[in-house]
């Protein structure tokens, strides 16, 4: 017998396993969806053992047995698919390219300053998830391996083949995985749709952590704010210019000689007072904490880590030493559970002197970055806990630091408060730990443009809380670029302005009245949408749905959306098309969905879907459209996240619906005590008189209460009805009828 067939889902799904050569076919009904080892590229090398095969490496006159080659590889054919996505992090298009014309996609976490664009080389993080989509099916292939990995992609038939052949052949995509080491652990996610696939992947690797509400506001960062007076001046500047923000950040210079968990005694003599000053305005402070520890025998933290065995070793069993910001450093071995527990304890209020519960953390340089190492990272033969070589778990290094930091901040609060941690390096599952960003970008239009497909790729791969630094970390942006970047970043999950110490100061009010006004508007509009963003993160936390979605996620049967990566959906209701070109006077916006209606959120003008719209632009124009039939909950003001809510109801064929999630915004009470509110809103078909804007009254019925009357205003030019004078609790059932 050459094959055996396994079935499930009432025999709807089957796996057919062929003995020789080994081949596995996955079928739905009678259709083959994917084939493992279809091209016979299954490969694994066994570790060398025994005296006959032993290999030795000479290093400083010391012989050490080397394990020898240990690479693994396999190919998967995806039948009927011609669009695949994922495999972050790369500065490239959303749809993965055919690699026959050059290098494969590389997954190897590296500190890459001012990275090349449209490149398949590895960047700061790696998620080995590939997602394939066609009109009637979405599949995922998850290759769980933390060593250096290459992925080759081959589409067939290709565009250069003759047209008659294209008509006869079914499209397919061949994916070839090759990893330096590890075990072969490959999972195929069957969908069948995008939402089901996201849920399946989240069940496998973890759901997005629900961030504290403040983390969805605006973050102001610079390398570096000079001292406490500088921080307070920047904080006051936001108030003076009426620009909301939630968090101010400190880079490495806030420490005593770049020793993490310390403060410069001259520049930051009263860090507790500084944090309390910010806390009076409900604002937070974030400080940096990198994985390298200054090799200073007179510093108690270094000695504690050294004596406790918490550092990575070299191949000879000595402390591995490398160069980073403090000079010579040792690197914390986060792969050890005991070391992670020790590192977590360093965030305790009794140990981290000068910290308060309002202090949150930024894990940077954790690929890890080693200035004098190969490719500016740790050598592959460095040795971790359990004798594992660094090559085996390189892409997990930053993930483990992120994990230890999270546990430290949760423990600091006695398990009651949700912390915020940003990490530059990441791996599959990092979504359950906090946020990531796209690293050291450049102040150019090209980097602004590439940030959108980069964030969409992260979102498809489960890393939902992601962003790109406003204005570019490196170089100085011109005023138009800065405005457009703020407008774009305000429509992305993580929203931070950051700049290097060699650039000019970049606070929003330093570029003239016009620029300041445009930036203020972009940030204020972000704050008005916080109820919607928070609800989307609840969906990510419970269902695996990313807030940022490629168009094909919502319009899965529209092939016109499959390669679009300059515009995207925010949830299921808003379509954004940020302006990413200089001096652009007209934007081309594709509004998907034949039969759909789309409303410009600024003018409320309606447009039909299934067509491309030419939208005139000014510096203030931000192309955002709301889907007909949706309800988006907004805040009436931008100054507070607890402001009164306003419902924006847009109706398609007389009906609209939406959802709102609320909790205390900071604790785990939503999880531990079910202290949250999840409300559905619907607008049913009704009758409104079509008159010019006028004041009137409406009948308001509240469940279990007598009739109440409220004022309303209807503006015919934009079809907007505003009901005011209401005093309703979101947690209460109520109904509004317009007579």
pLDDT bin (cut points 50, 70, 90) of residue 737 is confident
Distance CA 552, CA 574 (A): 14
Distance CA 176, CA 87 (A): 13
- pLDDT, position 98: 98
**111: alpha, beta or left, given left = phi > 0 and alpha = psi -120 to 50?**
beta
pLDDT bin (cut points 50, 70, 90) of residue 210 is very high
- pLDDT, position 168: 57
Hey, CA dihedral for 623, 627, 632, 636, is it positive or negative? positive
pLDDT bin (cut points 50, 70, 90) of residue 195 is very high
CATH 3.20.20.80 residue ranges for the chain: 290-434
Across 300-325, average pLDDT? 98
pLDDT bin (cut points 50, 70, 90) of residue 696 is low
Distance CA 583, CA 601 (A): 23
Residue 496 backbone phi and psi in degrees, to 5 = -135, 135
> In the numeric block, which tokens belong to residue 520?
């203020």
- pLDDT, position 60: 31
Give the pairing of strands 327-331 and 292-294.
Answer: antiparallel
Is residue 553 within 8 A of residue 140, CB to CB? The reply is: no
In CATH, 3-205 is 2.60.40.1760: yes
pLDDT bin (cut points 50, 70, 90) of residue 59 is very low
Across 263-289, average pLDDT? 97
pLDDT single digits (tens) 325-379:
999 999 999 999 999 999 999 999 999 999 999 999 999 999 999 999 999 999 9
Instruction: Give yes or no for residue 547 having a pLDDT over 90.
Output: yes
pLDDT bin (cut points 50, 70, 90) of residue 52 is very low
Say which residues have a Cβ less than 8 Å from residue 688's Cβ, sequence separation at least 6. 714, 721, 738
- pLDDT, position 56: 29
pLDDT single digits (tens) 456-506:
999 999 999 999 999 999 999 999 999 999 999 999 999 999 999 999 999
Residue 178, preceding peptide bond in cis (omega within 30° of 0): no
| Closest by CA position to 618, among listed 606, 604, 602 | 602
Distance CA 56, CA 79 (A): 45
Instruction: Give yes or no for residue 246 having a pLDDT over 50.
Output: yes
- pLDDT, position 245: 96
- pTM, two decimals, is 0.94
Across 241-252, average pLDDT? 97
SS3 615: strand
- pLDDT, position 63: 34
Distance CA 353, CA 713 (A): 56
Of 714 and 204, the one with more pLDDT:
204
- pLDDT, position 729: 76
- pLDDT, position 704: 45
Instruction: Give yes or no for residue 51 having a pLDDT over 60.
Output: no
- pLDDT, position 48: 64
- pLDDT, position 158: 61
Give the whole-number percent of the chain exceeding pLDDT 70.
89
Is residue 274 within 8 A of residue 354, CB to CB? The reply is: no
Of 57 and 144, the one with more pLDDT:
144
Residue 130, preceding peptide bond in cis (omega within 30° of 0): no
Distance CA 428, CA 326 (A): 30
Distance CA 644, CA 635 (A): 6
Is residue 253 within 8 A of residue 185, CB to CB? The reply is: no
- pLDDT, position 701: 53
- pLDDT, position 698: 53
Residue 341 backbone phi and psi in degrees, to 5 = -65, -40
pLDDT single digits (tens) 128-172:
999 999 999 999 999 999 999 999 999 998 644 445 555 557 999
**Upper half-sphere CA count for residue 173 (Cβ side, 13 Å):** 26
Distance CA 302, CA 480 (A): 46
- pLDDT, position 639: 57
Instruction: Give yes or no for residue 416 having a pLDDT over 50.
Output: yes
Of 161 and 227, the one with more pLDDT:
227
Q: The domain 290-434 belongs to what CATH superfamily? A: Glycosidases (3.20.20.80)
- pLDDT, position 722: 76
Distance CA 132, CA 190 (A): 10
Residue 88 backbone phi and psi in degrees, to 5 = -70, 155
Across 18-23, average pLDDT? 92
Instruction: Give yes or no for residue 64 having a pLDDT over 60.
Output: no
Distance CA 572, CA 550 (A): 11
Give the whole-number percent of the chain exceeding pLDDT 90.
81
pLDDT, averaged across the chain = 91
Beta bridge partners of 248: 220, 285
Is residue 75 within 8 A of residue 123, CB to CB? The reply is: no
pLDDT bin (cut points 50, 70, 90) of residue 664 is very high
CA distance between the termini of the chain: 75
CA 452 to chain centre: 11
pLDDT single digits (tens) 576-611:
999 999 999 999 999 999 999 999 999 999 999 999
Query: What residues are annotated to the active site?
Result: 364, 367, 440
């Amino acid at each position: 017998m050459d094959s055996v067939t396994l079935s499930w889902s009432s025999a709807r799904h089957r796996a057919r396993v062929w003995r020789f050569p080994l081949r596995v076919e996955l079928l739905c009904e009678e259709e083959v969806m994917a084939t493992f080892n279809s091209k016979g590229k299954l490969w694994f090398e066994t570790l060398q053992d025994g005296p006959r095969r032993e290999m030795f490496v000479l290093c400083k006159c010391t012989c050490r047995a080397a394990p020898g080659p240990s690479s693994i590889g396999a190919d998967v054919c995806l039948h009927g698919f011609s669009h695949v996505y994922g495999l972050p992090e790369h500065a490239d298009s959303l749809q993965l390219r055919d690699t026959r014309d050059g290098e494969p996609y590389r997954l190897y976490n590296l500190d890459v300053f001012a990275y090349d664009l449209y490149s398949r080389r590895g960047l700061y993080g790696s998620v080995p998830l590939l997602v394939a989509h066609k009109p009637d099916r979405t599949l995922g292939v998850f290759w769980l391996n933390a060593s250096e990995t290459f992925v080759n992609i081959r589409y067939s038939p290709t565009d250069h083949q003759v047209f008659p052949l294209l008509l006869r052949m079914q499209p397919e995509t061949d994916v070839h995985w090759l990893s330096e080491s590890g075990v072969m652990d490959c999972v195929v996610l069957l969908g069948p749709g995008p939402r089901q696939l996201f849920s399946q992947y989240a069940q496998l690797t973890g759901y997005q952590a629900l961030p504290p509400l403040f983390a969805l506001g605006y973050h102001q960062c610079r390398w570096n704010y000079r001292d406490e007076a500088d921080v307070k001046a920047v904080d006051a500047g936001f108030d003076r210019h009426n620009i909301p923000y939630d968090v101010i950040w400190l880079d490495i210079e806030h420490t005593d000689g770049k020793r993490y968990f310390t403060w410069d005694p001259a520049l930051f003599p009263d860090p507790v007072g500084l944090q309390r000053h910010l806390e009076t305005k409900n604002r937070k402070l974030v400080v940096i904490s990198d994985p390298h520890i200054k090799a200073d025998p007179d510093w108690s933290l270094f000695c504690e880590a050294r004596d406790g065995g918490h550092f990575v070793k070299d191949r000879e069993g000595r402390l591995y030493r490398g160069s980073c910001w403090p000079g010579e450093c040792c690197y914390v071995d986060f792969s050890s559970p005991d070391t992670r527990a020790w590192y977590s304890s360093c965030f305790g209020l009794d140990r981290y002197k000068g910290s308060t519960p309002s202090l949150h953390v930024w894990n940077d340089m954790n690929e890890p970055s080693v200035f004098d190492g190969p490719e500016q990272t740790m050598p592959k033969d460095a040795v971790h806990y359990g004798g594992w070589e660094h090559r085996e778990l390189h892409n997990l290094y930053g993930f483990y630091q992120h994990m230890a930091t999270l546990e430290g901040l949760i423990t600091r609060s006695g398990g009651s408060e949700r912390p915020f941690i940003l990490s530059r390096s990441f791996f599959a599952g990092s979504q359950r730990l906090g946020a990531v960003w796209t690293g050291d970008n450049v102040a150019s239009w090209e980097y602004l443009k590439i940030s959108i497909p980069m964030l969409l790729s992260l979102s498809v791969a489960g890393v939902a809380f992601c962003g790109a630094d406003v204005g570019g970390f490196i170089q100085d942006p011109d005023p138009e670029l800065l405005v457009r970047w703020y407008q774009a970043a305000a429509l992305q999950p993580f929203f931070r302005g950051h700049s290097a110490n060699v650039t000019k100061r970049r606070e929003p009010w330093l570029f003239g009245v016009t620029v300041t006004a445009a930036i203020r508007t972009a940030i204020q509009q972000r704050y008005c949408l916080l109820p919607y963003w928070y609800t989307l993160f609840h969906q990510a936390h419970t269902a695996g749905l990313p807030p940022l979605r490629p168009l094909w996620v919502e319009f899965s049967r529209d092939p016109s959306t499959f390669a679009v990566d300059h515009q995207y959906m925010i949830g299921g209701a808003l379509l954004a098309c940020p302006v990413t070109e200089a001096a652009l006077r007209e934007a081309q916006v594709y509004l998907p969905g034949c039969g759909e209606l789309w409303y410009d959120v600024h003018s409320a003008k309606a447009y039909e879907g299934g067509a491309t719209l030419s939208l005139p632009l000014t510096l203030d124009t931000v192309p955002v459209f709301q889907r007909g039939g949706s309800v988006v909950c907004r805040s009436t003001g931008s100054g507070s996240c607890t402001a009164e809510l306003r419902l924006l109801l847009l109706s398609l064929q007389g009906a609209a619906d939406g959802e709102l999630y609320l909790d205390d915004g900071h604790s785990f009470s939503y999880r531990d005590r079910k202290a949250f509110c999840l409300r559905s809103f619907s607008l049913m078909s009704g009758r409104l008189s079509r008159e010019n804007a006028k004041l009137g009254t409406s009948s308001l019925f509240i469940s279990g209460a007598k009739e109440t009357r409220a004022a309303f205003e209807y503006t015919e030019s934009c079809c907007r009805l505003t009901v005011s004078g209401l005093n309703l609790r979101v947690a209460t059932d109520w109904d509004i009828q317009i007579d």
